[in-house]
Structure 1
């Protein structure tokens, strides 16, 4: 892949949840699998992909590890968000019956999200780096009694059969993704239904976080997400990731950011983009069988 031409990168093997999200949101794009999130972001930074599909949170597993550390250091911008319903399936080589399965391979989160099914069938879980990677391994192994938890797309790609569908414990299992690009794509100020994502590091003074965020409260701005993480391994200071409703150039938001600047060492706006309809109507997810 020498240059980008409607290419979207994702982390994982072909058939992973992120691959499903790419194909759902950008059906005309070629998906580009990357082994790590660093390489997923790097593919866009280096011009080998137009966009990157990055998972941020899952309604069952919580935030995706390492993402909040990577985003501030990348040169990319958030241009879109996407919520995808996650459906897990038990996959095996053709001709294998459910009664023959003894061992199930998948990502640790997928295994944790299907505990009741595994317990009910007496199956031994084996942690794998990736759901689709586990499916690929099962397709290449002649060892009997093994299966994978992965998507129907993975079953199609790797020639596996679905032994059981929708085996996840929680019906609300949903992953939030952000789409990232090399250039920002801000809608016009005053547009309704926007989100602004940003990262900031507070000054080392008493009540710095309280004071930094006070401007959002006094200006009537709703903050939908706030998470902290350590900076370079230091326990004394944290960096924060936040999502707020509105546009940075709207007067209330502009005043809030002016107050935020006063109590922070650094602020970087990661993106301004439309809020997904899932936020107002949780039925508006797109199914992903992964």
Structure 2
């Protein structure tokens, strides 16, 4: 395993060992990339589209994009990109979010009056801010807020950011784990130009796809019936109205299983009969976070 470089953006010409993310250096997505791929350099990008575009353009090998949070719910921006991307989902990662109050060296909880951060981070630390009578100030990005207070040099302003951001911008951590809920976890999807090839006989797999049902009564009920009759668990199903007149719904789905398994094959065949514009997004190993209780199939085709 290669040693991780200390820089945030990697070296030129080393795209094969680079993973892109949305946000500034030190963002929670940056921490997630380093946790899941400690041997890769991280590449900050301004938007989800730019991060995925860096992979498509060959500037990075992977992109890690948040898809949902245990407190805030789904991250909607990604779903508008899925119908158009050529990338494939190759992995998932669950990142525990640990918010820190950071400030200039020499600052204390008594000197801090205002705290900057992303609106979600502020909301997730509401009890801490209220207890210490700190005035929240919305910023576009957690790591960006940390960078800004380091540049401005005002000892009365702190930021809610990661410990990584504090280290990058040479700030002091005044308090750790200040989030209200101890289950604050963000699920990330990892995208690549090439498909993953997990062996479903030895590892639990997840498959993701998009589809649009035909505009007829009970189309969704019939399209999903094959998953029930074949014992395939649908883990995630989200709908999006599309078209000028919002007449048809597009669905994003994640199911347990690999397309080579007979049960999922039959379920997808029935889905195809009652739907249109089916687009596979990738099959990938289930993260250990969700693998509890899984057992390898005992015979072919199970």
Contact 1:3/1:47, CA 8 A, preserved across alignment: no
Residue aligning to 1:89? 100
Residue aligning to 1:68? 79
Contact 1:102/1:124, CA 8 A, preserved across alignment: yes
Query: For residues 92-103 of structure 1, what are the structure 2 equivalents within 5 Å?
Result: 92-103=103-114
Residue aligning to 1:204? 215
Structure 1 residue 255 displacement after superposition? 0.8
Q: Does 1:262 align with 2:282?
A: no
Q: Does 1:129 align with 2:161?
A: no
Alpha-carbon distance between aligned partners in 2 of 1:129 and 1:221, rounded to the nearest angstrom: 40
Contact 2:204/2:291, CA 8 A, preserved across alignment: no
Query: For residues 113-262 of structure 1, what are the structure 2 equivalents within 5 Å?
Result: 113-232=124-243, 234-262=245-273
Structure 1 residue 191 displacement after superposition? 4.3
SS in 2 for 1:195: strand
Alpha-carbon distance between aligned partners in 1 of 2:18 and 2:260, rounded to the nearest angstrom: 31
Moved over 6 A (4+): none
> Quick one: structure 1 residues 233 and 162, their matched pair in 2 at CA, closer, same or farther if it must change by over 3 Å?
farther
Structure 1 residue 66 displacement after superposition? 1.1
Cα deviation 1:115-137 (Å, max 9, x = unaligned): 11111111111111111011000
Cα deviation 1:180-205 (Å, max 9, x = unaligned): 10010122354441110111111111
Residue aligning to 2:27? 16
> Quick one: structure 1 residues 233 and 170, their matched pair in 2 at CA, closer, same or farther if it must change by over 3 Å?
farther
Residue aligning to 1:271? 282
Structure 2, gaps ≥5 residues long: 1-11, 293-302
Residue aligning to 2:51? 40
Cα deviation 1:64-106 (Å, max 9, x = unaligned): 1211111221110011111111100000011011111111111
Q: Which structure carries more strand by proportion?
A: 1
Contact 2:103/2:155, CA 8 A, preserved across alignment: no
What's the C-alpha RMSD, in Å, of the aligned pairs?
1.5
Count of residues in Structure 1 that have an aligned counterpart in Structure 2: 282
SS in 2 for 1:47: coil
Give the TM-score taking structure 2 as reference length.
0.90
Structure 1, gaps ≥5 residues long: 282-290
Q: Does 1:77 align with 2:109?
A: no
